[in-house]
Structure 1
Amino acid sequence: MSVCQSCGACCVSFRVDFHPAELAGGAFAWGEGVPLEMTLPVTPNIVRMRGTDDAPPRCIALAGQVGEAVNCTIYDGRPSPCREFDTEHAACNRARQRCGLAAL
């Protein structure tokens, strides 16, 4: 299991906004793309993953228990902010700290 599959802190810490072209069937979608029903419109050029703007935030695509075992239910079609985020970002350790997890 990768460290991300036992963490999930980023999925419960950050707002995830991206271009609608990454939605399912969109010109810039990976895999099957992000299902429309998992998003909220923000502007004509921005959609947001449901749950990431809640208090507390939790991405609708996250399954499992943070800090134990998690997975992204749309991993192959996840949006670019999720693809670009990794454990090398300082924001990863900030998210882990918010969830009471040790820094990497």
Structure 2
Amino acid sequence: MSSFNPCVTCGACCASFRVSFYWAEGDDAPQGFVPHQLTEQVNSFYRCMQGTNNSAPRCTALQGEIGAAVGCSIYANRPTPCREFDANVDGSNPRCDQARARWGLGPLIPVQEVA
């Protein structure tokens, strides 16, 4: 059995919010993992993903068409905010629905197990 992941057809969060994280997550720091060339400095302590610090944000690592089929080109090395951002399938993340609404997508419904 596997669960359908609604994020692979959405991507709205990647094109709605600034993705800021502690600078040391960049791969130019010891133990860092986020490709630093895809980031920009916010201040002395924080970086953000390129493209997300704009009035119309879209992460440079996002590939595909929002609401149709998307993927993250650095999924295994994505920053902490991306790892912690869950799809709102259980009511625990209203920011997911906010991002989806920005792109004309309806709220998510609970995930069903697929045989």
Return structure 1 stretches of 4+ with deviation > 3 angstroms. 25-29
Instruction: Tell me which residue corresponds to 2:38.
Output: 38
Q: How many residues align?
A: 101
TM-score of the superposed pair, with normalisation by structure 2: 0.82
Residue 59 in 1 paired to residue 63 in 2? no
Instruction: Tell me which residue corresponds to 2:105.
Output: 101
Q: Name structure 2 gaps, 5 residues minimum.
A: 109-115
Counterparts of 1:28 and 1:15, CA distance in 2:
23
Instruction: Tell me which residue corresponds to 1:48.
Output: 48
Instruction: Tell me which residue corresponds to 2:10.
Output: 7
Counterparts of 2:106 and 2:81, CA distance in 1:
23
Report the identity percentage.
47
Q: Name structure 1 gaps, 5 residues minimum.
A: none
- Is residue 28–residue 36 contact of structure 2 (8 Å, CA) maintained in 1? no
CA RMSD of aligned residues (A): 1.3
TM-score of the superposed pair, with normalisation by structure 1: 0.90
Instruction: Tell me which residue corresponds to 1:17.
Output: 20
Give the secondary-structure state (helix, strand or coil) at the position aligned to 1:53. Answer: coil
Task: Give the letter aligned to residue 99 of structure 2.
Answer: A
Instruction: Tell me which residue corresponds to 2:96.
Output: 92
Give the secondary-structure state (helix, strand or coil) at the position aligned to 1:96. Answer: helix
Larger Cα-atom Rg: 2
